[in-house]
Amino acid sequence: MGALKTVMGGDAGFATTKLDALLNWARKYSLFQYPFATACCGMEFFAVAGPRYDVARFGAEAPRFSPRQSDVLWVVGTISQRQAPALKRIYEQMSDPKWVVAFGTCASCGGFYDNYTTIPGADKVIPVDIYIPGCPPRPEAVLDGLMLLMEKIEKGGNREAMTVPPRELPRLAQLRTRADTTIVSDHIGKMKEDK
Amino acid sequence: MSVAVLARLQAEFGAKILETSSFRGDDEAIVAPSDWAAVAAFLRADSELVMDHFIDITAIDYPERTPQLPRFDVVLLVRSMSKNHRVRLKTRVQDGEELDTLVPVWRGANWTEREVFDMFGIRFRGHPDMRRILLYEEFVGYPLRKDYPIDKTQPLIEYRKEDNLEKLPPFGPTEGQPWNRIDWQARLEGRDMQVSPAIAVQQGQKHALSESSARAEGKPLPDEIPGKN
Amino acid sequence: MERIEEELEDESALELPTEPMRLNMGPSHPAMHGTIRMVLDLDGEIIKDVDIQPGYLHRGFEKSCERGTWAQVYPYADRLNYVSPMLNNVGFSLAVEKLIGITVPERCAYYRVILGELARIADHLTCNGAGAMELGAFTPFLWFLKVRDWIWDILERETGARMTHSFGRIGGMAKPPTETLKQDVLDILPQVEKVLLEAEGMLLRNRIFIDRTQGIGILKKDLAIEMGVTGAMLRSTGVDYDVRKAHPYSLYERFDFEVPIGHDGDNYDRFLVRTEEMRQSMRILEQAVAQMPDDGPINVEDVRIMMPPKDQVYNTIEGTIAHFKLVMEGLKPPVGEVYSYTEAGNGDMGFYIVSDGSGTPYRVRCRPPCFINLAICRDMLLDEMIADIVPTFGSVNMIGGECDR
């Protein structure tokens, strides 16, 4: 609700804001989604919409099966070469502003279907805003991605892809990024001492 | 029960049943392509067999056994609802050879025959609707043939040309494990010395050429072949 | 005014002339599960012809299997029928075990039955729930999702994944059952039954539901057999065929359960058959939980098939070699080909596997039950109304991953 304070700022009883900021704030909480559910991830998409995880808390529960009425295109599942024209057409039919979420590994990069019939990621055909990894992603990850999308909508502006930064990089991974094996072996030695 | 099916077929067709086997309880009979439809119709109509429940039609590609044997195996699986027995009928067809359709015998053969055509390029004579079923009309080639490279895509629409889209494939042709993977392109072009044991048996060789003997003869190993990804 | 009355007396005047129309439905239609396209030839609202085009989710399952080891097929097999992945795991395991000629220990067979029947309940819940939702009954769908999450909780505790478990192994399972498995299963069964009863109360006497399912999408018995239809669709026509009864595998002959069959083969019967199958699955679960031994081996003890225990891998050279060979070269079944079939969520799911004696499958063919069930959909839709496509297609339970592979 941080955005609300800026919108309603001041005690004078009137709002001073840019119109864009107000619109973005409003858009963020009323996402009409188009679930382009093709494959396995659709099952988890049901679960996100279901009672336990309840995507309605984020104002994004209303599916619209007409691209002209929807804001967010969820690409849920593998996109085959044969499916790609349909996906592109649906994206083109959506009216601006529109966002695309790649739900799961297949929609993000093709996953392990690295073969003659699968497109390696929906972003080969349409621009993607948020990538949610997982095969299929857990509902928690989906909600994380959705919140990231809301953050992005609030900021407005560019359409650059975003990823969820890890809360904490694992220690070994931190060391690996330095590409220094001696540090890794030192670290392992230290782990043994700790034991 | 199970032997009775093969015995019944042999009693009816005699030498037209080229081979029979019962590996792990699966009865199998091999016929010539010209007898394919007749034997199938008999399976369905005979009062002792009554194979009324259609199960599946599929094919297997053996590019290396040509020209001794035709390239493809076409396999029919049926079972009997009342007698509760199954049989596997097989025939061998050349590349480009047409096979009689079984749609008049079991209507369920319609889509599976279309799939065999889609994946292997085997046409069925007299089929009511011989179109591709899983792939699109624009697709060239037949993907389940061993000589079709697994990663050869044929996009219907152009990919976007943006920065940062050059992702590495997660696995690549050897799936992260270069050991003991069969590279069919290399093998069919004669660059790969590995011949699978089953093919060796069918070709009458005693043993498949092993990697150690290939190394002894100074031939390149699959992993060392230049140009292989 | 008089003139209008005159016209009304003539009945033909009310009939507007209809022109034949060709309508494209799907692939991104909400009722088409995202992967089917139907080209309809309509006369008014009556379907005169329909061309069903699957293949929008063709992902190259069979080709992908030909480049890994036998064990690497499991993740792909999971994603065939992604509503009940455990049944595919079990089906593929049984196929390779048949090819090798081994049987798993009894405890493992029971474990497979328990996990498989849980997956079957989840499968039918999804199918029935989605079918009801497409007819406007949103509440039972949410209830079924709730129950499915309970079942997935158990599967997650056992396997580590909610949906795509990859838990089967050739010659066993990845891990032995947890200690709480039996109690978990026994705990949820009464609650599942309760929700089933509630949902039945919402649907089965609901006029909208009855009108849109009874007598719609009728499937004839003889045609169904000839077309190779299996599973709940075949049983709804009155054919008593369940692989678990006809060709028992994995100790199914030890359980006392019944095969529910329908009478008319319409959408309503298919709904009821699936509901009753869930009850029978619960019966099997109760018996399996009671019969499963609490200890004993879960995997075959052959290092050429199953990986040795980790302490052997780390501490003995034999264990290390066995592990290395299984990972790098893979399991090497004998030369041959077998067809193995199990009762999956949609029917007779078979794996026709061909081995050339190497560590890589020569050919893995999955006999997809819903691909073959879908082929008959045209006959069920002809001369029905266009709105009847939704319940009919929903009750076929087309699962894209399995249909198109």
Write out pLDDT tens, residues C351-380.
Answer: 999 988 888 888 899 999 988 888 888 888
What is the predicted pLDDT for the residue at A53? Answer: 87
- Least CB-CB distance to B151: which of A114, A121, A125? A114
Q: Determine whether the interchain pair C63/A116 forms a contact, defined as Cβ–Cβ distance below 8 Å.
A: yes
- Least CB-CB distance to B135: which of C58, C356, C376? C58
**Structure tokens that stand for C238 in this block:** 């009155």
- Least CB-CB distance to B157: which of A88, A110, A120? A88
Whether residue B210 is found in the same domain as residue B171: yes
Nearest C-alpha in C relative to A67: C28
The pLDDT tens digits of the residues spanning C180-234 come to: 888 989 999 999 999 999 888 888 888 888 888 888 888 888 888 888 899 888 9
Domain count for chain B, please give it. Answer: 2
Q: Which residues of C touch B50 (CB under 8 A)?
A: none
Q: Which of C38, C47, C42 is nearest to C22 (CA)?
A: C42
Cα–Cα dist B18/C219, whole Å: 39
Q: Determine whether the interchain pair B134/C405 forms a contact, defined as Cβ–Cβ distance below 8 Å.
A: yes
Enumerate residues 60 to 79 of chain C having a beta carbon within 8 A of any beta carbon in chain A. 60, 63-64, 75-76, 79
C252 touches C244 (CB < 8 A): yes
B93 touches B99 (CB < 8 A): yes
Name the residue type at position B118.
D
Does residue B217 carry a pLDDT above 50?
A: no
- Least CB-CB distance to C59: which of A50, A87, A117? A117
Minimum distance, in Å, between the CA of residue C27 and any CA atom of chain B = 13
Q: Angle at CA A89, nearest 5°, toward A87 and A94? A: 100
Q: Determine whether the interchain pair A124/B148 forms a contact, defined as Cβ–Cβ distance below 8 Å.
A: no
Asked if A91 reaches chain C (Cβ–Cβ under 8 Å), the answer is: no
**Structure tokens that stand for B13 in this block:** 């067709």
Task: Give a yes or no: residue C11 inside a domain.
Answer: no
**Structure tokens that stand for B45 in this block:** 């109509």
Question: Would you call B77 helix, strand, or coil by DSSP?
Answer: strand
Whether residue B128 is found in the same domain as residue B210: no
- Any idea which of B149-163, C3-17, C331-345 has the lowest mean pLDDT? C3-17
Distance between the two ends of chain A, CA-based, in angstroms?
A: 46
C41 has which bridge partners? C22, C49
Residues of chain A with pLDDT under 70: 1-17, 157-195
Instruction: List, in sequence order, every beta strand (DSSP E) within C328-381.
Output: 336-344, 347-355, 363-367
Span C237-264, average pLDDT: 88
C288 touches C255 (CB < 8 A): yes
Whether residue B121 is found in the same domain as residue B172: no
Q: Determine whether the interchain pair A124/B153 forms a contact, defined as Cβ–Cβ distance below 8 Å.
A: no
What is the predicted pLDDT for the residue at B192? Answer: 56
**Structure tokens that stand for C312 in this block:** 């052997």
Asked if omega into B178 is within 30° of 0 (cis), the reply is no
Neighbours of chain A (3+ CB pairs under 8 A): B, C
Asked if B182 reaches chain C (Cβ–Cβ under 8 Å), the answer is: yes
Q: Determine whether the interchain pair B135/A115 forms a contact, defined as Cβ–Cβ distance below 8 Å.
A: no
Mean of the per-residue pLDDT values of chain C: 86
| Range(s) of the domain holding residue C315 | 61-403
Q: Backbone phi, then psi, for A146, in 5-degree steps? A: -65, -40
A93 touches A65 (CB < 8 A): no
Secondary structure of B97-114 in the HEC alphabet?
CCEECCCCCCCCHHHHHH
Of the three residues B144, B161, B193, the one that is the final residue of a domain is B144
Model confidence at C281, in pLDDT bands (50, 70, 90)?
Answer: very high
Query: To 10 degrees, what angle do helices C106-134 and C85-100 make?
Result: 140
Cα–Cα dist C274/C265, whole Å: 12
Q: Determine whether the interchain pair B106/C226 forms a contact, defined as Cβ–Cβ distance below 8 Å.
A: yes
Whether residue B132 is found in the same domain as residue B29: yes
**Structure tokens that stand for C158 in this block:** 């056992």
Minimum distance, in Å, between the CA of residue C402 and any CA atom of chain A = 10
Instruction: List, in sequence order, every beta strand (DSSP E) within A104-174.
Output: 130-132
Where do the domains of chain A lie? 30-194
Asked if A80 reaches chain C (Cβ–Cβ under 8 Å), the answer is: yes
- Least CB-CB distance to B134: which of C226, C357, C404? C404
pTM of the complete model:
0.83
Asked if A110 reaches chain C (Cβ–Cβ under 8 Å), the answer is: no
Mean of the per-residue pLDDT values of chain B: 76
Q: Determine whether the interchain pair A138/C149 forms a contact, defined as Cβ–Cβ distance below 8 Å.
A: no
Model confidence at B222, in pLDDT bands (50, 70, 90)?
Answer: very low
State which H helix or E strand residue C42 sits in.
Answer: strand C37-43
Whether residue B56 is found in the same domain as residue B127: yes
Whether residue B14 is found in the same domain as residue B117: yes
Neighbours of chain C (3+ CB pairs under 8 A): A, B
What is the predicted pLDDT for the residue at B225? Answer: 39
How many Å is the maximal CA-CA distance in chain B?
Answer: 69
CB-facing half-sphere around the CA of A147: CA atoms within 13 A: 10
Cα–Cα dist B124/B97, whole Å: 9
Nearest C-alpha in B relative to A127: B160
Q: Determine whether the interchain pair C57/A38 forms a contact, defined as Cβ–Cβ distance below 8 Å.
A: yes
C136 touches C394 (CB < 8 A): no
Asked if B209 reaches chain C (Cβ–Cβ under 8 Å), the answer is: no
Of the three residues B89, B115, B144, the one that is the final residue of a domain is B144
Give the Å distances, CA to CA, from A146 to A56, A137, A169, B63. 11, 12, 22, 50
> For A30-194, CATH number?
3.40.50.12280
Mutant choice from B19, B22, B26, B102 vs C, greatest count of C C-beta within 10 A: B26
The pLDDT tens digits of the residues spanning C327-342 come to: 877 888 888 889 999 9
| Range(s) of the domain holding residue B166 | 149-229
Q: Which residues of C touch B110 (CB under 8 A)?
A: 375
Cα–Cα dist A82/C55, whole Å: 8
Contacts (Cβ under 8 Å, ≥6 apart) of C139: C202
Whether residue B125 is found in the same domain as residue B164: no
Q: In the 8-state DSSP scheme, what is residue B158?
A: P
Task: Give a yes or no: residue C36 inside a domain.
Answer: no
**Structure tokens that stand for C140 in this block:** 């039972």
Q: The CATH number of the domain where C315 resides is what?
A: 1.10.645.10
What is the predicted pLDDT for the residue at B108? Answer: 87
Minimum distance, in Å, between the CA of residue A65 and any CA atom of chain C = 7
State which H helix or E strand residue C48 sits in.
Answer: strand C46-53
Of the three residues B101, B119, B144, the one that is the final residue of a domain is B144
Q: The CATH number of the domain where B29 resides is what?
A: 3.30.460.80
A106 touches A87 (CB < 8 A): no
**Structure tokens that stand for B198 in this block:** 């089953």
Q: Which of B13, B35, B10 is nearest to B90 (CA)?
A: B35
Distance between the two ends of chain C, CA-based, in angstroms?
A: 63
Question: Would you call B209 helix, strand, or coil by DSSP?
Answer: coil
Q: Are strands B86-93 and B99-100 parallel, antiparallel or unpaired?
A: unpaired
Give the Å distances, CA to CA, from C248 to A92, B151, C236, C244. 52, 40, 21, 5
**Structure tokens that stand for C58 in this block:** 């063709």
- Provide the CA C72 distance to its chain's centre, in angstroms: 21
C40 has which bridge partners? C23, C50
Span B171-183, average pLDDT: 52
Minimum distance, in Å, between the CA of residue A87 and any CA atom of chain B = 11
Model confidence at B210, in pLDDT bands (50, 70, 90)?
Answer: very low
Does residue B38 carry a pLDDT above 80?
A: yes
C21 has which bridge partners? C42
Neighbours of chain B (3+ CB pairs under 8 A): A, C
Q: Determine whether the interchain pair C149/A38 forms a contact, defined as Cβ–Cβ distance below 8 Å.
A: no
Q: Which residues of C touch A69 (CB under 8 A)?
A: none
The pLDDT tens digits of the residues spanning B53-75 come to: 899 999 999 888 877 888 899 99
Rg (CA), chain A: 20
The pLDDT tens digits of the residues spanning A165-184 come to: 556 666 666 655 555 445 44
Give the Å distances, CA to CA, from C400 to B171, C78, C382. 24, 13, 23
Does residue C284 carry a pLDDT above 70?
A: yes
Asked if B111 reaches chain C (Cβ–Cβ under 8 Å), the answer is: yes
Q: Are strands B53-61 and B72-79 parallel, antiparallel or unpaired?
A: antiparallel
Cα–Cα dist A28/A90, whole Å: 22
Q: Determine whether the interchain pair C352/B58 forms a contact, defined as Cβ–Cβ distance below 8 Å.
A: yes
Domain count for chain C, please give it. Answer: 1
